[in-house]
């Protein structure tokens, strides 16, 4: 890949290239054989057997990483996979976001029970925060968790949950203290086959394993709480701090794929007696696409490096990276469609797929507007202290 590489080592760039090659040669055909909109278990297993999924998790939790989960490593894998198989990318990322809160805040029993199985691709994980009436305002969630002796009873609805309703384990956020907004939310671990839990798949603009969950008096033992009771909002936010830059890496991968396709098309396609690239309107657009993609990539890896280095302002840098990269990728993919013309609109064209796929990341894991809110609050923090 041409261009700057921030401070990535040769080894890190090789990992990204390995992920891309595996996606194109091994994982894309498995993804294509799956049922669109449902969990593709052979794909999750192939991510594990080819060594990618275990890299997300530390050795003590059944993975192959020498230390804690590394944001840069997550970004390298996501960017590489996205360039050749968005389905493989998403399957890997959802295992990470579903299992990370358990790793971060779970008891030893919960970690041992679930994380190695997720790392091996034997258990499918999910992160269940959003509700029909509460997406951006995550501190307002209503799904009730009522204490009854040594357990909780959970009742309510979650929606737009990746990997639902097929997941084997859910990290699910519920209200333990009514009226307390973000300070009354608790994180729970639920096995997918628990009594009283049911769900339905949802069909999106771009097929993705996602669904709605209904909890009808689901009983969860009190020792399935992650972290402290009423402190689950922090578990959710800390998870998003880690994964938001990597949403950026996902979309940078898509932008790169779109840019590569546009470069090839502009060099080979002729109009008015010359290749498209000889029209300045096209070549300058390609230059702009490449520049913005590189800027997004630099922000993503800078945010990931800040996270791994334990920098104090990672909430802000994560939000900035996600915001800038997702908006940039939308521009780059849309521009690549424009350069291709009508061919890119045909069902099944790689850009038709990317055009549908690039839209959702501007909404999930915090919309563009929520990222701006997070950044703006952080900018004023020193002035208010
Ligand atoms: N890490 C740790 N703790 C955090 C945190 C973070 N990144 N962000 C907030 N908190 C803590 C705050 O410190 C505060 O703690 P105290 O109660 O001790 O003061 C608590 O959480 C509540 O924070 P705040 O008052 O800022 O919460 P708000 O309800 O105002 O909401 C936003 C904050 C808007 C940032 C939050 O609701 C959000 O991120 N929404 C988007 C949700 C989202 O991404 N949904 C997609 C689901 S995943 S696909």
pTM: 0.96
**What residue numbers bound the domain in which 72 lies?**
2-123
Domain finish residue from 59, 89, 123: 123
Same-domain status, 278 and 371:
yes
Q: What is the pLDDT of residue 5?
A: 44
Whether 1 shows a pLDDT value over 50: the answer reads no
Task: Annotate 275-327 with DSSP letters as a single string.
Answer: EGGGSHHHHHHHHHHHHHHHHHHHHHHHHHHHHHTT-TTHHHHHHHHHHHHHH
Whether 112 shows a pLDDT value over 60: the answer reads yes
Strand segments (E) across 112-253 = 125-128, 144-148, 151-162, 169-175, 185-191, 197-201, 210-221, 225-226
Write the pLDDT tens digit of every residue in 58-71.
999 999 999 888 99
Q: Could you tell me the pLDDT band of residue 378, with boundaries at 50, 70 and 90? A: very high
Same-domain status, 214 and 296:
no
Handedness of CA 175, 181, 184, 187 (dihedral sign): positive
Same-domain status, 253 and 205:
no
Ligand 1 atom with minimal separation from the 139 CA: 29
Ligand 1 atom with minimal separation from the 241 CA: 7
Any residues with Cβ below 6 Å from ligand 1, and which?
A: 129-130, 135-139, 181-183, 233-234, 237-238, 240-241, 315, 364-366, 370, 373-374
Q: How far apart are CA 324 and CA 293, in angstroms?
A: 10
- Among 104, 130, 139, 186, say which to mutate for ligand 1: greatest number of ligand atoms within 8 Å of CB: 139
Contact assessment for residue 187 and residue 171, using Cβ atoms and an 8 Å cutoff? yes
CATH of the domain at 358: 1.20.140.10
The angle, 0 to 180 degrees and rounded to 10, between the axes of the packed helices 86-105 and 350-357 is 30
Write the pLDDT tens digit of every residue in 27-61.
999 999 999 999 999 999 999 999 999 999 999 99
Q: How far apart are CA 88 and CA 357, in angstroms?
A: 13
Going by alpha carbons, the residue nearest to atom 49 of ligand 1 is 365
CA of 322 to the centre of ligand 1 (A): 16
Domain finish residue from 207, 230, 253: 230
Task: State the chain's mean pLDDT as an integer.
Answer: 96
Q: Could you tell me the pLDDT band of residue 6, with boundaries at 50, 70 and 90? A: low
The secondary structure element, H or E, covering residue 133 is none
Same-domain status, 106 and 204:
no
Going by alpha carbons, the residue nearest to atom 12 of ligand 1 is 234
Write the pLDDT tens digit of every residue in 229-271.
999 999 999 999 999 999 999 999 999 999 999 999 999 999 9
Going by alpha carbons, the residue nearest to atom 19 of ligand 1 is 183
Q: What is the pLDDT of residue 385?
A: 79
Same-domain status, 82 and 160:
no
| Average pLDDT rounded to a whole number, residues 367-381 | 97
Same-domain status, 221 and 306:
no
Same-domain status, 301 and 260:
yes
Write the pLDDT tens digit of every residue in 146-174.
999 999 999 999 999 999 999 999 999 99
- Among 164, 233, 320, say which to mutate for ligand 1: greatest number of ligand atoms within 8 Å of CB: 233
Query: For the chain, what percent of residues have pLDDT higher than 70?
Result: 98
Q: Which residues are catalytic?
A: 365
CA of 135 to the centre of ligand 1 (A): 12
- Among 237, 312, 313, 364, say which to mutate for ligand 1: greatest number of ligand atoms within 8 Å of CB: 237
Name the residue among 147, 140, 157, 150 with its Cα closest to residue 197: 157
Residue 327, both tokens: 């908006």
Same-domain status, 215 and 241:
no
CA of 95 to the centre of ligand 1 (A): 22
Q: What is the pLDDT of residue 3?
A: 46
CATH of the domain at 90: 1.10.540.10
CATH of the domain at 149: 2.40.110.10
Q: How far apart are CA 358 and CA 370, in angstroms?
A: 18
Query: Strand pairing of 125-128 and 169-175?
Result: parallel
State the Cα angle at 174 between 172 and 177, rounded to 5°: 155
Name the residue among 224, 238, 303, 246 with its Cα closest to residue 104: 238
CA of 265 to the centre of ligand 1 (A): 44
CA of 128 to the centre of ligand 1 (A): 15
CA of 236 to the centre of ligand 1 (A): 8
Ligand 1 atom with minimal separation from the 181 CA: 29
Same-domain status, 312 and 198:
no
Same-domain status, 162 and 101:
no
Domain finish residue from 94, 123, 152: 123
Going by alpha carbons, the residue nearest to atom 4 of ligand 1 is 234
Same-domain status, 240 and 289:
yes
Same-domain status, 219 and 237:
no
Q: How many domains does the chain have?
A: 3
């Amino acid at each position: 890949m041409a261009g700057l590489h921030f401070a990535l080592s040769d080894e890190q760039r090789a990992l990204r290239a390995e992920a891309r090659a595996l996606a194109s040669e091994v994982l894309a055909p498995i993804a294509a054989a799956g049922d669109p909109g449902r969990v593709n278990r052979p794909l999750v297993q192939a991510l594990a057997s080819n060594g990618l999924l275990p890299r997300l998790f530390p050795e003590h939790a059944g993975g192959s990483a020498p230390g804690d989960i590394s944001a840069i490593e997550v970004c390298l894998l996501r960017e590489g996979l996205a360039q050749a198989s968005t389905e493989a990318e998403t399957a890997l990322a959802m295992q990470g976001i579903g299992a990370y809160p358990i790793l971060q805040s779970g008891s030893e029993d919960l970690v041992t029970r679930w994380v190695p199985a997720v790392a091996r691709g034997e258990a499918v994980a999910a992160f269940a925060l959003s509700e029909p009436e509460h997406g951006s305002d995550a501190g307002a969630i209503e799904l009730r968790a009522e204490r009854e002796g040594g357990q909780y009873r959970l009742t309510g609805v979650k929606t737009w949950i990746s990997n639902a309703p097929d997941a084997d384990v859910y990290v699910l956020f519920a209200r333990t203290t009514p009226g307390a907004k973000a300070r009354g939310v608790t994180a729970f671990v639920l096995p997918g086959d628990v009594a009283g839990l049911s769900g339905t798949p949802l069909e999106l603009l771009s097929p993705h394993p996602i669904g709605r969950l209904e909890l009808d008096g689901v009983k969860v033992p009190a020792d399935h709480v992650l972290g402290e009771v009423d402190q689950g909002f922090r578990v959710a936010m800390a998870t998003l701090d880690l994964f938001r830059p990597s949403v950026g890496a996902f979309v940078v991968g898509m932008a790169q794929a779109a840019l590569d396709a546009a470069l090839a098309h502009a060099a080979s396609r002729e109009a008015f007696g010359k290749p498209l690239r000889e029209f300045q309107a096209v070549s300058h657009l390609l230059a702009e696409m490449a520049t913005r993609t590189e800027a997004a990539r630099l922000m993503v890896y800078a945010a990931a490096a800040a996270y791994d280095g334990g920098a104090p302002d990672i909430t802000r840098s994560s939000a900035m990276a996600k915001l800038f990269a997702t908006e940039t990728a939308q521009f780059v993919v849309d521009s690549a469609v424009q350069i291709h013309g009508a061919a890119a609109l045909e069902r099944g064209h790689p850009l038709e797929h990317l055009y549908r796929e690039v839209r959702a990341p501007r909404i999930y894991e915090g919309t563009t507007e929520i990222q701006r809110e997070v950044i703006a609050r952080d900018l004023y923090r020193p002035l208010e202290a």
